[in-house]
Amino acid sequence: MPETTKPKVPRGPNAERRAATRAKIMEAAVGCLAEFGYAATSTPLVAKMAKVSRGSLLHQFPTKVDLILAVAEYAARAQAMRRDWQEVVLDLNAALQLSPRRADLLVLRASARRALKNYQDALADTEAALKLSPGDGSALVERGLLRRQLGDMGGARRDFQAALKTASGSVAEEAKANLDDLAP
Protein backbone atom coordinates (compact mmCIF):
# COMPACT_ATOMS: atom_id res chain seq x y z
CA MET A 1 0.00 0.00 0.00
CA PRO A 2 1.53 3.36 -1.00
CA GLU A 3 2.43 5.69 1.78
CA THR A 4 0.56 9.00 1.71
CA THR A 5 2.03 12.07 3.23
CA LYS A 6 0.26 15.16 4.29
CA PRO A 7 1.35 18.28 2.45
CA LYS A 8 3.33 20.59 4.72
CA VAL A 9 1.44 23.68 5.71
CA PRO A 10 3.75 26.68 5.90
CA ARG A 11 3.87 28.10 9.38
CA GLY A 12 4.87 31.57 10.40
CA PRO A 13 7.61 32.34 12.90
CA ASN A 14 6.91 31.26 16.48
CA ALA A 15 6.56 34.84 17.76
CA GLU A 16 3.88 35.59 15.19
CA ARG A 17 1.96 32.41 15.98
CA ARG A 18 2.16 33.11 19.72
CA ALA A 19 0.92 36.66 19.20
CA ALA A 20 -1.96 35.47 17.01
CA THR A 21 -2.94 32.81 19.57
CA ARG A 22 -2.74 35.34 22.41
CA ALA A 23 -4.94 37.80 20.46
CA LYS A 24 -7.57 35.09 19.81
CA ILE A 25 -7.55 34.16 23.50
CA MET A 26 -7.88 37.80 24.60
CA GLU A 27 -10.81 38.46 22.27
CA ALA A 28 -12.54 35.28 23.42
CA ALA A 29 -11.94 36.14 27.08
CA VAL A 30 -13.41 39.61 26.64
CA GLY A 31 -16.42 38.07 24.89
CA CYS A 32 -16.91 35.45 27.60
CA LEU A 33 -16.66 38.00 30.39
CA ALA A 34 -19.17 40.27 28.65
CA GLU A 35 -21.61 37.46 27.89
CA PHE A 36 -21.27 35.16 30.92
CA GLY A 37 -19.64 37.27 33.66
CA TYR A 38 -16.60 36.49 35.77
CA ALA A 39 -18.03 33.53 37.70
CA ALA A 40 -19.13 31.59 34.61
CA THR A 41 -15.99 32.36 32.58
CA SER A 42 -13.58 29.45 32.79
CA THR A 43 -10.34 28.69 30.99
CA PRO A 44 -11.92 25.71 29.13
CA LEU A 45 -14.77 27.97 27.96
CA VAL A 46 -12.35 30.66 26.77
CA ALA A 47 -10.24 28.05 24.97
CA LYS A 48 -13.35 26.69 23.24
CA MET A 49 -14.51 30.19 22.21
CA ALA A 50 -11.00 31.08 20.96
CA LYS A 51 -10.80 27.77 19.06
CA VAL A 52 -7.46 26.92 20.63
CA SER A 53 -6.44 23.94 22.73
CA ARG A 54 -6.64 24.27 26.49
CA GLY A 55 -2.90 23.62 26.54
CA SER A 56 -2.29 26.63 24.28
CA LEU A 57 -4.36 28.80 26.59
CA LEU A 58 -2.61 27.50 29.71
CA HIS A 59 0.78 28.07 28.07
CA GLN A 60 -0.13 31.76 27.66
CA PHE A 61 -2.11 32.13 30.90
CA PRO A 62 -1.44 29.43 33.54
CA THR A 63 -4.40 30.47 35.72
CA LYS A 64 -7.74 32.20 35.37
CA VAL A 65 -6.33 35.07 37.46
CA ASP A 66 -3.46 35.51 34.97
CA LEU A 67 -5.98 35.59 32.14
CA ILE A 68 -8.24 38.13 33.87
CA LEU A 69 -5.27 40.39 34.71
CA ALA A 70 -4.19 40.27 31.07
CA VAL A 71 -7.74 41.14 29.96
CA ALA A 72 -7.75 44.13 32.34
CA GLU A 73 -4.43 45.33 30.91
CA TYR A 74 -5.72 44.77 27.36
CA ALA A 75 -8.88 46.78 28.12
CA ALA A 76 -6.85 49.58 29.70
CA ARG A 77 -4.64 49.84 26.59
CA ALA A 78 -7.71 49.89 24.34
CA GLN A 79 -9.24 52.65 26.49
CA ALA A 80 -6.01 54.66 26.34
CA MET A 81 -5.99 54.40 22.55
CA ARG A 82 -9.60 55.55 22.47
CA ARG A 83 -8.74 58.50 24.73
CA ASP A 84 -5.88 59.44 22.39
CA TRP A 85 -8.31 59.63 19.44
CA GLN A 86 -10.67 61.76 21.51
CA GLU A 87 -7.79 64.15 22.22
CA VAL A 88 -7.00 64.29 18.49
CA VAL A 89 -10.62 65.26 17.78
CA LEU A 90 -10.48 67.97 20.46
CA ASP A 91 -7.23 69.35 19.02
CA LEU A 92 -8.70 69.38 15.52
CA ASN A 93 -11.84 71.10 16.82
CA ALA A 94 -9.62 73.87 18.21
CA ALA A 95 -7.68 74.12 14.93
CA LEU A 96 -10.93 74.32 12.97
CA GLN A 97 -12.11 77.16 15.21
CA LEU A 98 -9.07 79.12 14.01
CA SER A 99 -9.24 77.97 10.37
CA PRO A 100 -12.77 76.76 9.60
CA ARG A 101 -12.21 76.53 5.84
CA ARG A 102 -9.41 73.94 5.97
CA ALA A 103 -10.60 70.82 4.16
CA ASP A 104 -7.47 68.93 5.20
CA LEU A 105 -8.30 69.44 8.90
CA LEU A 106 -11.84 68.23 8.30
CA VAL A 107 -10.52 65.07 6.64
CA LEU A 108 -8.15 64.43 9.56
CA ARG A 109 -11.00 64.91 12.04
CA ALA A 110 -13.16 62.53 9.97
CA SER A 111 -10.42 59.92 10.18
CA ALA A 112 -10.14 60.33 13.97
CA ARG A 113 -13.91 60.13 14.33
CA ARG A 114 -13.94 56.97 12.20
CA ALA A 115 -11.38 55.45 14.61
CA LEU A 116 -13.83 56.27 17.42
CA LYS A 117 -16.67 54.67 15.40
CA ASN A 118 -18.45 58.03 15.24
CA TYR A 119 -19.38 57.40 11.63
CA GLN A 120 -22.14 59.96 11.08
CA ASP A 121 -20.06 62.90 12.32
CA ALA A 122 -17.08 61.62 10.33
CA LEU A 123 -19.25 61.43 7.20
CA ALA A 124 -20.44 65.01 7.82
CA ASP A 125 -16.78 66.10 8.03
CA THR A 126 -15.98 64.51 4.67
CA GLU A 127 -19.04 66.15 3.10
CA ALA A 128 -17.95 69.54 4.46
CA ALA A 129 -14.40 68.96 3.18
CA LEU A 130 -15.72 68.11 -0.29
CA LYS A 131 -17.84 71.29 -0.33
CA LEU A 132 -14.72 73.31 0.43
CA SER A 133 -12.51 71.36 -1.94
CA PRO A 134 -14.54 69.41 -4.54
CA GLY A 135 -12.72 66.34 -5.81
CA ASP A 136 -10.22 66.30 -2.92
CA GLY A 137 -8.68 62.83 -3.12
CA SER A 138 -8.10 62.44 0.62
CA ALA A 139 -11.70 63.41 1.39
CA LEU A 140 -12.99 60.99 -1.24
CA VAL A 141 -10.89 58.12 0.15
CA GLU A 142 -12.01 58.88 3.72
CA ARG A 143 -15.66 59.06 2.65
CA GLY A 144 -15.20 55.78 0.77
CA LEU A 145 -13.80 54.14 3.90
CA LEU A 146 -16.76 55.42 5.90
CA ARG A 147 -19.29 54.28 3.31
CA ARG A 148 -17.70 50.83 3.25
CA GLN A 149 -17.90 50.71 7.06
CA LEU A 150 -21.59 51.63 6.86
CA GLY A 151 -22.27 48.95 4.23
CA ASP A 152 -22.65 51.28 1.21
CA MET A 153 -20.29 49.37 -1.09
CA GLY A 154 -21.54 51.12 -4.26
CA GLY A 155 -20.91 54.55 -2.75
CA ALA A 156 -17.50 53.44 -1.48
CA ARG A 157 -16.57 52.15 -4.94
CA ARG A 158 -17.63 55.45 -6.56
CA ASP A 159 -15.57 57.45 -4.04
CA PHE A 160 -12.45 55.33 -4.58
CA GLN A 161 -12.85 55.58 -8.37
CA ALA A 162 -13.28 59.36 -8.16
CA ALA A 163 -10.20 59.61 -5.92
CA LEU A 164 -8.18 57.65 -8.48
CA LYS A 165 -9.10 60.25 -11.12
CA THR A 166 -8.17 63.28 -9.02
CA ALA A 167 -5.43 62.14 -6.64
CA SER A 168 -1.82 61.15 -7.08
CA GLY A 169 0.89 59.53 -5.00
CA SER A 170 -0.01 57.75 -1.77
CA VAL A 171 -3.64 58.94 -1.86
CA ALA A 172 -4.11 57.35 -5.30
CA GLU A 173 -2.39 54.18 -4.06
CA GLU A 174 -4.73 54.02 -1.07
CA ALA A 175 -7.76 54.55 -3.32
CA LYS A 176 -6.55 51.77 -5.66
CA ALA A 177 -5.88 49.35 -2.78
CA ASN A 178 -9.33 49.97 -1.29
CA LEU A 179 -10.97 49.63 -4.71
CA ASP A 180 -9.17 46.31 -5.20
CA ASP A 181 -10.45 45.15 -1.78
CA LEU A 182 -14.03 45.81 -2.94
CA ALA A 183 -13.63 43.78 -6.12
CA PRO A 184 -16.04 40.80 -6.21
- More confidently predicted of 68 and 109: 109
Give the C-alpha distances (Å, rounded to integers) separating 177 from 99, 106, 141, 183.
Answer: 32, 23, 11, 10
Q: Provide the pLDDT for residue 133.
A: 94
- More confidently predicted of 81 and 94: 94
Stated pTM of the model: 0.59
pLDDT digits (tens, 9 = 90+) for 161-174: 999 999 888 888 88
Query: What's the mean pLDDT when you consider all of the chain?
Result: 87
Cα-only R_g, the chain: 22
pLDDT of 5 > 70? The answer is no
Phi-psi region of 136 (alpha: psi -120 to 50; beta: other; left: phi over 0): beta
pLDDT of 9 > 60? The answer is no
Q: Which domains does the chain have, with CATH numbers?
A: 12-77 (1.10.10.60), 99-184 (1.25.40.10)
